[in-house]
Amino acid sequence: MALVAAATHHFTYDEILSITKNFSQVIGVGGSSTVYYGQLPEGGLKVAVKKLKESGSVLGNLLAE
């Protein structure tokens, strides 16, 4: 498995919808979030996108991870 250099990029919600094909493939579910499979358009890098559920304690749970 190849390592990818660390880089930060912020995606718009529309870009995330495209990357995940409208959140069509669930790869994991937890108490505060669902994780979806995605693929970046440039280079085809496979990614996991975590979508938080709406809850008052979600931010605390995310920070604890």
Res. 65: pLDDT tops 70: no
**Can you tell me the distance from the alpha carbon of 35 to that of 38, in angstroms, rounded to the nearest whole number?**
10
**pTM of model > 0.75:** no
Report the pLDDT averaged over residues 23-27: 98
Give SS3 for 13: helix
pLDDT the model gives residue 58: 56
Res. 22: pLDDT tops 90: yes
Edge-to-edge strand list for the sheet holding 33-39:
26-29, 33-39, 46-52
Give SS3 for 15: helix
Annotated binding residues, as ranges?
Answer: 51
Measured at the alpha carbon of residue 54, what is the angle toward residues 10 and 16, in degrees to the nearest 5? Answer: 30
Annotated binding residues for ATP, as ranges?
Answer: 51
Maximum C-alpha span of the chain: 38
